[in-house]
Structure 1
Amino acid sequence: MVAFKGVWTQPFWKAVSGEYIAMLIFVLLGLGSTITWGANNSCQSADIVRISLCFGFSIVTMVHCFGHISGAHLNPAVTIAFVCTRKITLAKSVFYIMAQCLGAISGAGILFLITPPNLVGNFGMTMVNERLSLGHGLLTEILITFQLVFSISASCDPKYKNKYPAIAIGISVIIGHLFAINYTGASMNPARSLGPAVILWNWKSHWIYWVGPIVGAVCAAAAYDYIYCPDNALKEHLKEVLKKATQKKEKYAEVEDNRSQSGDDDLILKPGTIHVIDIDHDSKKGKDSASEILSTV
């Protein structure tokens, strides 16, 4: 039950509901940009620039609105990457991912209800180009999600000031779409692909849009936090843990990581000197807005 400490609080459920609402709006607007209203009321080829800008600007808006409420993950792959880098607990991430997926399905469902049937088309579903193999599609999703999450990690690093994370993240989404729409539909987000897949009940190659973004996100977050810009306090902590683990030879030594539970009341956990979003103390003033935003898409 220690893992669920801090879950049954009002601030946390405000954060979860924020993820749901933000994801609903993001998917509704993003998928809506893929629907073309032609002169003959028939589907035409989608405008790549329009779709890219809509997804990117939607992310900028949602990060700006919900960054201080929930961290504005808006992406199960980002949430899983933050679990791996100890920025959010596993128990809390489960509720985040559920809210994101439900929000995406709700947004896609609302759009489907208000769109004339003859204009629905493929409804913005992410599909691998017929000229590509599934392996190429998987690699594409890994690469574009890697650049997105690396951008998120860098722009939201509290050690560096005078940044505009919402804009940086939005631009990262835009360039990912401009590059990869013709390859895979440029998902970078399992929930974004889940919404239209559920509404149309089309699961063709859907696994690519979970495996690819998750692998790319975890690799990017780990590379930034542990290789390129590691936290000194975290490095010392890992050394202490490894030292204790090797003290007893040929015997199993259970090492208690006190640090991993020291911030269970926080919504987003960061080791060492990394800034923490504490939803139980949301009345604090003087917080750095850039460090409050932990993720998106």
Structure 2
Amino acid sequence: MCARFTQALACEFVATVIFIFIVLGSAFKWPLQLPSVLQISMAFGLTIGTLVQAFGHVSGTHVNPAVTIAYFVGNQISIVRSVLYVVLQLLGAITGAGIIYSVTPKDVRHTLALNDLTYGTNPGEALVVEIILTFSVVMCIFSATDKRRTESRGNAALSIGLAVTMAHLIGIYYTGCSLNPARSFGPAVIMGKFSGAHWVFWLGPIFGASVASVVYNYLLYPQKLSIGERLAIVQGFVLPEDEGRSTPRTNSERLRT
């Protein structure tokens, strides 16, 4: 059990490093070729889809503190796993940003694709955009990975990747589209530049993801769990394979004796 948990933590860190490395690189403005909104959006979506397919069965491939918090709010992962996931996601984001920064020419990497408000967008408007887009993506995540669904769920990795792509197709124009505090935090640390609106890229995604979790897990498709079972999940008294990007079973067989 400890080995499996350690593997999940390692996967979360590695997946976040890869994610940040690729998505930041996709947004760099090279002298002979400027990136398009479609290119950047596809890079984000394809990277997430690939990582979910590669690591999802081990760690759930959250690679996003907002997603991890949403799973905790939805009573699907323990508090210990939640805290460690967030810490490793932030460390992975810093590492990924540092690597891409170190291998990229100075005149190309100068902004490191930092999230910031664009085209006169104010913090309030940006916050609304981040909340709505993160809400839509996290709703897709819960729906696509819910093992209680009896009908075909399609391919979860593809569905999540397309949801991320969709969000970036509009979000880039407003904020560069964060949806992920780690994605905003990593490059800001490497560059030593935190904009006055950096809080938007934490509050927006976390609030949007938490609302999506409440709507899906408590209103639309509530889990039939006793208080004891819910407390056991929070405390970590569940089999490690039940945690991650999946919905817990609804009987006492989930609990350790």
- Structure 1 position 114 matched with structure 2 position 103: yes
1:167 corresponds to: 158
Residue 192 of structure 1 pairs with residue 165 of structure 2: no
Contact 2:75–2:230 (CA under 8 A) maintained in structure 1:
no
Aligned match of 1:158: 147
Post-superposition Cα deviations, 1:69-95, rounded to whole Å, max 9, x if no partner, equal 101111100101111111111111111
Aligned to 2:239: 266
Counterpart of 1:182 in structure 2 is 173
Match of 2:62 in 1: 73
Local SS of the residue matching 1:159 = coil
1:25 & 1:266 partners in 2: Cα distance?
28
1:205-252 superposed Cα distances (whole Å, 9 cap, x missing partner): 111111000000000011011111223x23xx3xxx6xxxxxxxxxxx
* Residue of structure 2 equivalent to 1:60: 49
Give me the whole-angstrom Cα distance separating, in 1, the residues matched to 2:248 and 2:29. Answer: 47
Query: What is the CA deviation profile of residues 44-98 of structure 1, one whole-angstrom value per residue up to 9, with x for unaligned ones?
Result: 7531111000110000110000001101111100101111111111111111111
Say whether 1:224 aligns with 2:195. no
14, 19, 42: which one aligns with 1:21: 14
| Shift in Å, 1:260 | 2.1
Shift in alpha-carbon separation, 1:26–1:277, aligned structure 2, 3 A: farther
Partner of 2:79: 90
Structure 1 residue runs of 5 or longer lacking an equivalent are: 1-5, 242-256, 281-297
SS at match of 2:193: coil
How much does 1:259 deviate?
A: 4.3
Matched residue SS, 1:88: coil
Q: Secondary structure at the match of 1:69?
A: coil
Q: CA deviation at 1:264?
A: 1.5
* Equivalent pair of 2:238/2:254 in contact (CA under 8 Å): no
In the alignment, the residues of structure 2 paired with residue 73 and residue 57 of structure 1 have an alpha-carbon distance, to the nearest angstrom, of 15
1:128 Cα deviation (Å)?
1.1
The letter of the residue matching 1:181 is I
Instruction: Kindly report which structure 2 residues correspond to 1:194-273, keeping only aligned pairs within 5 A, or say none.
Output: 194-204=185-195, 205-231=197-223, 233-234=224-225, 237=226, 257-261=228-232, 264-267=237-240, 268=243, 270=247, 272-273=249-250
Tell me how far 1:180 sits from its aligned partner. Answer: 0.8
Aligned letter for 1:48?
V
Structure 1 CA distance for aligned equivalents of residues 164 and 178 of structure 2: 10
Q: Are residues 38 and 258 of structure 1, via their aligned partners in 2, closer, same or farther at CA, if it must alter by over 3 Å? A: closer
Identity percentage over the alignment? 38
Q: Which structure 2 residue ranges, 5 or more long, are not aligned? A: none
How far apart are the structure 1 equivalents of 2:87 and 2:206?
15
Change (3 A) 1:222 1:153: same
Other-structure match for 1:102: 91
Taking the TM superposition and a 5 Å limit, the aligned residue runs for 1:141-152 are 141-152=130-141
- 1:290: which partner in 2? none
Distance of 2:165 and 2:132 partners within structure 1: 14
Structure with max Cα Rg: 1
Paired letter, 1:273: T
Which structure has the highest helix share of the two? 2
Amino acid at match of 2:165: I
